[in-house]
A and B are shown apart, each in its own frame.
Chain A
Amino acid sequence: MEISEHKHIISVLVTNKPGVLARVSGLFSRRGFNIESLAVGTTNDPAYSRISLVVHGDDRVIEQVTKQLNKLIDVIKVSDITHSETVLRELVLVKISAKPEQRTEILTVSNTFRGKVIDIGDSSMIVEITGHDEKIDAFIRLMKKYGIIEIVRTGKVVLVRGAATT
């Protein structure tokens, strides 16, 4: 990776129609852009969806990403909010191998990370955790010693702070 490459957060407002996600993700693969994370869901207006993207690339690549996205008919607005004041969250479910005697310990760590235990099985637990990369990575690192069975992540969702819309 070149030194000039940065992580960019791009928020894309699209019409809520079948196939739109395929158009966006297809654009990334055919133009050779790398997506680190992608999250999509409808907005407060069900006619639209918002796609939150985390993309790696130098300025030229990001400019092309933005311009090519804008060319898609179903894309209403593309905002590179990397440098805006944003709130960024990701939700992760972690299934941990946990013997009954380890439960308390895991629960304590989870509480520290403001995680929630949402399932307890005979030999496993599922913890839900939200937040930034660093926090999630730290939590996952701590859980490794118990044994991580599975992880699922939503991808990052992001909003600009204040009353402005993207």
Chain B
Amino acid sequence: MTGAKALIDGLIHEGTEVIFGIPGGVVLPIFDEIYDSKMKVILTRHEQGAIHAADGYARVTGKAGVCIATSGPGATNLVTGLANAHMDSIPLVAVTGQVGTGSIGRDAFQEADITGITMPVTKHNYLVKDPESLLRIIQEAFHIATTGRPGPVLIDVPADITTMSVESGFPKEINLEGYKPTIIGHRKQIKNAVKAIEKAERPLLYIGGGIIIAGAAEELRRLVDILKCPVTHTLMGKGAFPEDHELSVGMLGMHGTWAANTAISNADTVIAIGVRFDDRVTGRLDKFAGDTTFIHIDIDPAEIGKNVAVHIPIVGDAKNVLETLIKEMPKDYAPRNAWLRTVEGWKKSHPLTYNGDSGSDIMPQYVVERLYEITKGEAIISTEVGQNQMWAAQYYKMSKPRTWISSGGLGTMGFGFPAAIGAQVGRPDALVIDIAGDGSLMMNIQELATAVCHDLPVKIVVLNNGYLGMVRQWQQMFYKGRYSSTDLCGNPDFAPIAEAFGAAGITVTAKDELDDALAEGMNNGRPTIIDVKVSREANVFPMVPKGKALDEMIEEY
């Protein structure tokens, strides 16, 4: 068989059902092979759309997302998507075409050193130099992408490799001497953790995306049933624990709830699981949770002690470690009632609020609240980045893992819509909604064609304030209101744009039209933009200003 055939066979062998991508010169033999295969191809309109879609697909299915792009610009257009997946630990396999092996290094047409370029933003990458190594590389790539701390792997395939003959089959086993993720947590450290939890008077669970990746939501529930302690989650941890649970204090960090930030600042023992103490979570590091005892469970040893000194490190898979921890925990752990009452008090005294009585203005928070009600909290939500993302995180409460798709680490504007497309491909029967801003949407709006062409009824709810809203908010608060380049004048009218693409478009300018518009948009079975003209200068609160400690939250401005 040819290299191209081996590549497609390899992808199918690894369980790939769908590829997101765009063809081009050097990948012609691969696409010709796809033409006869059972593989489904989602043709996007930009390679960035393809990789974000593969990312969204991976987040909802837990499988590796696969995308393909041609050499040179096709490959470089994947870079943002790789960095995005790398930061959020999303399993991806990106296949890029490369100029022929004889042309590499000669600045050939559409040549780019994509393995060199993507080294820092992939978990690993390969340049295939021998067609006989192709199947081994594919097998390794999927293994690396999906195990341990997942991440993106890129395979760069020169044009001549795709037409050469491949004789060898799949290797019987994967032999990666330098890659052996630790799954099972150290027993002694787990026992130490139990002792610390037993001593704790004010315990708190701080959970993140690692719970979702490990499929440990059920184990987490069981642990919470025993500990009966408050639970706070990161942006990436939304859906790991039901946010409507009485012990959930909501998201923590820069735009976290008062209760969550106050709880972590006052807890004496924090059980951190599948989190990385990101700067958006900790705020000012030297003031973060002063005398607290930290138990940190993570599969990546490099995350432990990276930002915050940890007392009890446990390297391992969250599911595995939690199973052992639950076994080791005394079943009669007494709820810390005084602490629970205090936290409950914070929740009650400082709920998330916004100016609900804003006259004729539609508040963006209200839009998300209505969307939550109308969809009964059961939609898969993707977001763009900025205010839209934070309002979505605050007001759309998730209850299940793999239903929240948001660019956490990299903060990639333009991610939400293509990611929603990928999510819809992975979950064809689900209602998938991109909560968008008008700034972010413009960054990948071309993918409307993809949604229409593949009949993917993704919904985009635009919180349209005509600004790069989060930047404007910072300018208002920290730059004397000098709105430098944040007014998005010239943005189009989104509803007719949607219609021009063959999607549905609805514009909402009055509060009393909102419910009907949302209901109609959610139920029309078509890709739809619901463009809601919201209050232009609404801000996201609470807010921990950059460089401040978590207990220096601003609740209004």
Contact = CB atoms under 8 A, between A and B. Distances in A.
Interface string A130-154: 0000000000000000000000000
Contacts of B127: 19
B43 to A, nearest CB: 32
Given A15-B178, A19-B115, A30-B120, A64 B144 contact: no
B348 to A, nearest CB: 40
Contact of A23 (B119, B144, B177, B306): B119
Contacts of A76: 177-178
Given A30-B120, A71-B300, A60 B305 contact: yes
A67 B302 contact: yes
Interface in A1-53: 14-15, 19, 22-23, 26-27, 30
A74 B116 contact: no
A22 B144 contact: no
Interface string B143-177: 01000000000000000000000000000000011
B302 A71 contact: yes
A22 B116 contact: yes
Contacts of A72: 178
Contacts of B302: 64, 67-68, 70-71
Most buried by B among A64, A73, A75: A73
Nearest to B151: A71
A27 B306 CA distance: 15
Interface string B269-308: 0000000000000000000000000000000111001100
A15 B306 CA distance: 27
A70 B148 CA distance: 13
Q: Is the interface of A mostly helix, strand, loop or mixed?
A: helix
B478 interface: no
A77 B301 CA distance: 15
Contact of B179 (A22, A63, A73): A73
B548 interface: no
Interface in A58-98: 60, 63-64, 67-68, 70-77
B124 interface: yes
Contact of B177 (A15, A27, A63, A70): A15
Contacts of A60: 305
B301 A26 contact: no
Given A23-B119, A30-B120, A64 B306 contact: yes
B303 to A, nearest CB: 9
* Interface bracket on B: 10 to 19
A74 B176 CA distance: 8
A63 B305 contact: yes
A76 B180 CA distance: 10
Most buried by B among A14, A19, A27, A77: A19
Nearest to A19: B115
Contacts of B124: 73
Interface residues of A, number: 21
Nearest to A76: B178
B119 A22 contact: yes
Contacts of B176: 73
A76 B179 CA distance: 8
A101 B419 CA distance: 77
A64 B302 CA distance: 6
A64 B301 CA distance: 9
Contacts of A70: 301-302
Contact of B120 (A14, A26, A77): A26
A73 B178 contact: yes
Interface string B81-108: 0000000000000000000000000000
A23 B177 CA distance: 17
A22 B123 CA distance: 14
Interface in B112-131: 115-116, 119-120, 123-124, 127
Nearest to A68: B302
Contact of B178 (A30, A64, A74): A74
Contacts of A64: 302, 306
Interface in B176-196: 176-179
A69 B123 CA distance: 12
A30 B116 CA distance: 13
Contacts of A71: 300, 302
Contacts of B306: 64
B119 A26 contact: yes
Contacts of A15: 177-178
Contacts of A67: 301-302
A75 B178 contact: yes
B72 to A, nearest CB: 19
A71 B149 CA distance: 10
A150 to B, nearest CB: 30
A72 B179 CA distance: 8
A18 B411 CA distance: 33
Contacts of A14: 178
Contacts of A19: 115, 127
B410 to A, nearest CB: 15
A67 B178 CA distance: 13
B116 to A, nearest CB: 7
Nearest to A77: B178
A71 B302 CA distance: 8
Interface of B: 115-116, 119-120, 123-124, 127, 144, 176-179, 300-302, 305-306
Q: List the 8 closest A-B pairs by CB distance, nearest first.
A: A67-B302, A73-B124, A76-B178, A73-B179, A30-B120, A75-B178, A67-B301, A76-B177
Given A26-B120, A70-B301, 10 more contacts: A15-B177, A22-B116, A22-B119, A23-B119, A30-B120, A60-B305, A63-B305, A68-B302, A73-B124, A76-B178
7 contacts: A15-B178, A22-B119, A27-B120, A30-B120, A64-B306, A70-B302, A71-B300
